[in-house]
Amino acid sequence: MTEPVRISLRVPGTSTMPELMAIIKRIEAAGFDGAGILDSQLLARDTYVILGQAAANTTRLGLFPAVSNPFSRHPSVLASSIQTVEEMAPGRVKFVIGTGYTSASTIGRKPATLSEMRVCVGNIKALLAGQTVDWNGTPGKLDYASGRNIPVLMAATGPKAIELAGEIADGVLLLVGFNRCLVDWSLTHLERGARRAGRRVEDLEVMWAVRTGMAETTAAARRHARPTAVHWGIRWEGEWVKRASIQIPKIKVPDAVSKIYPDLSHAQDWEEAIAVTSFMPDDVVGELCDALGLVGTPEYCADRIAEMAKLGARNLYLMPFETFAPPEPEITAFRDIVFPRLRAAGLR
């Protein structure tokens, strides 16, 4: 029997709480396997309040923060929060942590270091297992740890972070794009890290973060994806662009790009962000979109998922481009077109 593809959807907490609960109910009804709740304290409502409400308003949907970090909440608070949510949805919750991006930039600090990540992941895993952790000479434990398994995943993009996730976490959320070269490269580093801990990649939960944007035409989908595609091309112009086999021309980046709040990939005014990225040629944007994920018609995206499933990508986390708009186009497209096509292919 063909192994199914599990698909979760990002939910930005930028709508009101009643609207968010309605969205999450529609996500479950549409057939998604999980929902990741954006965690960025100045952009979205509190992630763990949303997760608790989502647990009470769903019956089978997997739930996780996407993604928490070691500095905006103390690790003991993170462990307490996710354990509390898990009591409301036993067996449906996992914890995902990363170095922080907008959570850091919007409060004027740098993301967490990998050494900080190592300590934080170790402490949270220990607390959730009911063990005692030393806090600067003061021992402490989570008295209400359930003992049920709450997987701790680490979000990772660069090679060192991917290897660390393979070494210390229960799994990894790979934010690396979505094509054959990037899949092979990521798994090589994940295996290297897993070997350091005497483990195999097969021992880990591997989720693929996939940037997602669908429209009636490829051109319309790529236009909508411009801010994030250009952001990745600028931010990861070195190693990632080379891995993805993309040639970005030498172009001066306009000053207006740096003035988009909080950044191109999370812009509040999406049309403004599209306008300021007009300096990047359409063909380059197309290549970036192809490397990043699922950008095109729903039928095309269904075919791409089937292609990547053949490479072993069976656990996807879809990240629609806009942070300040609900993922309604994706909910509709997957319910009506993508999921039926995947079921016909034996992948659901």
Residues 194 and 109 in one domain: yes
What CATH number corresponds to the domain at position 163?
3.20.20.30
**pTM to 2 decimals?**
0.96
Q: Examine residue 258 and state whether it is found in any structural domain, yes or no.
A: yes
Question: What separation in angstroms does the CA of 273 have from each of 217, 250, 257?
Answer: 20, 20, 8
Residues 211 and 221 in one domain: no
Name the amino acid, one letter, at 10.
R
Domain that holds residue 66: 6-215+297-344
State the pLDDT at residue 245: 85
327: DSSP letter: -
Residues 159 and 244 in one domain: no
Pairwise CA distance, residues 277 & 288, whole Å: 13
Is-contact 128 150, C-beta < 8 A?
yes
Residues 109 and 126 in one domain: yes
Phi and psi, residue 66, nearest 5°: -140, 90
Pairwise CA distance, residues 179 & 244, whole Å: 8
Question: What separation in angstroms does the CA of 260 have from each of 108, 253, 279?
Answer: 16, 13, 15
Name the amino acid, one letter, at 257.
V
Q: Examine residue 1 and state whether it is found in any structural domain, yes or no.
A: no
Residues 157 and 116 in one domain: yes
State the pLDDT at residue 135: 96
pLDDT tens readout for residues 35-50: 999 999 999 999 999 9
Residues 273 and 186 in one domain: no
Residues 235 and 308 in one domain: no
State the pLDDT at residue 199: 97
93: DSSP letter: B
Tokens of 62: 């997997």
Pairwise CA distance, residues 288 & 282, whole Å: 10
Q: Examine residue 310 and state whether it is found in any structural domain, yes or no.
A: yes
Mapped onto helix, strand or coil, the DSSP state of residue 249 is coil
Last residue of a domain, one of 269, 293, 317: 293
State the pLDDT at residue 179: 83
- Domain tally, the chain: 2
Reduced DSSP (H G I as helix, E B as strand, rest coil) percent helix, strand, coil of the chain, to 5: 50, 15, 35
State the pLDDT at residue 1: 54
State the pLDDT at residue 181: 85
Q: Examine residue 210 and state whether it is found in any structural domain, yes or no.
A: yes
Residues 209 and 126 in one domain: yes
Residues 140 and 244 in one domain: no
Tokens of 189: 């580093």
Pairwise CA distance, residues 101 & 66, whole Å: 12
Residues 310 and 247 in one domain: no
Mapped onto helix, strand or coil, the DSSP state of residue 237 is coil
Q: Examine residue 136 and state whether it is found in any structural domain, yes or no.
A: yes
Residues 132 and 102 in one domain: yes
Pairwise CA distance, residues 88 & 83, whole Å: 9
Residues of the chain with confidence (pLDDT) below 70: 1, 237
Q: Examine residue 40 and state whether it is found in any structural domain, yes or no.
A: yes
Name the amino acid, one letter, at 27.
I
Which long-range contacts link 115-119 to residues 24+ away (Cβ below 8 Å)?
Answer: 116/70, 116/71, 117/70, 117/154, 117/161, 117/164, 118/164, 118/168, 119/70
Cβ neighbours of residue 38 closer than 8 Å, sequence gap 6 or more: 10, 11, 12, 13, 14, 44, 47, 66, 323
State the pLDDT at residue 101: 86
Q: Examine residue 81 and state whether it is found in any structural domain, yes or no.
A: yes
Residues 139 and 101 in one domain: yes
Q: Examine residue 244 and state whether it is found in any structural domain, yes or no.
A: yes
Q: What is the distance between the terminal CA atoms of the chain, rounded to a whole angstrom?
A: 11
Tokens of 85: 């949510």
